[in-house]
A and B are shown apart, each in its own frame.
Chain A
Amino acid sequence: DIQMTQSPSTLSASVGDRVTITCRASQSISSWLAWYQQKPGKAPKLLIYKASSLESGVPSRFSGSGSGTEFTLTISSLQPDDFATYYCQQYNSSLPLTFGGGTKVEIK
């Protein structure tokens, strides 16, 4: 299985901050990576696919980058609605599909 490791597990930030979350894969997954946002009691919401493609309707302050084994999700200016948990997911050709452990973005 491809292991996905996210860091940090928790992040404290203020409105307006630039926030970066890292996701590392245990082997190369090219650009086959997605990012999701999950709020308490809600289903995950797709933000980014193919490492850097923004899903329709997602604010442009969200961006993704990386390839191979190291990826980042950046929020350019944190908004009150962005406090949530973020997950990465690899969808390389090898199964199973796997998720990172999550990064909780908290209010500082």
Chain B
Amino acid sequence: QVQLQESGPGLVKPSETLSLTCTVSGGSISSYYWSWIRQPPGKGLEWIGYIYYSGSTNYNPSLKSRVTISVDTSKNQFSLKLSSVTAADTAVYYCARLPVYYDFWSGWNYYYYMDVWGKGTTVTVSS
């Protein structure tokens, strides 16, 4: 079955750019939407954005000015960059897949919940 694995630095300095990669194994990155979600220590979940395998994106307006999500289909990976980080960006960062279903009558149907999650990676912003 499909598995996701986040990777990247666990410590980022304030004002620098946080960069994470999610590697998809056990399946193709094609035909799906892929998302990043984060969870500050002791708090709830926050959606960051998603990307279609073809490269189209949507971001949370609260982070849009600082976020870039990209995809590399040749490596079966997608990535997150978050610029100008502060301590408020300290969180566990998860990558996840959004499901798609094929129906004979209506074709491909995309849904914007997350059915497969990576284990998460902790990123601390500190000097």
What residues of chain A lie closer than 8 Å to B111, measured between beta carbons? Answer: 49-50, 91
User: Which residues of B from 45 to 61 have beta carbons under 8 Å from A?
Assistant: 45-47, 58, 60-61
Tier of interface size on chain A:
20 to 34
Query: With an 8 A cutoff between CB atoms, is B8 at the interface?
Result: no
Give which listed residue, A1, A46, A95, A100, contacts B113 with CB less than 8 A. A46
In the complex, which residues of chain A have a beta carbon less than 8 angstroms from the beta carbon of B45? Answer: 36, 44, 87, 89, 99, 102
Given known pairs A96-B60, A96-B61, A96-B62, the reply for A46 and B115 (CB within 8 Å) is yes
User: Could you tell me the distance in whole angstroms from the C-beta of A102 to the nearest C-beta in chain B?
Assistant: 5
Tally A-B pairs: CB < 8 A.
55
- Residues of chain B touching chain A, judged by Cβ–Cβ distance below 8 Å, are 35, 44-47, 58, 60-62, 94, 99, 111-115, 117-120
What residues of chain A have their CB less than 8 Å away from a CB belonging to chain B? 1, 32, 34, 36, 42-46, 49-50, 55, 87, 89, 91, 95-102
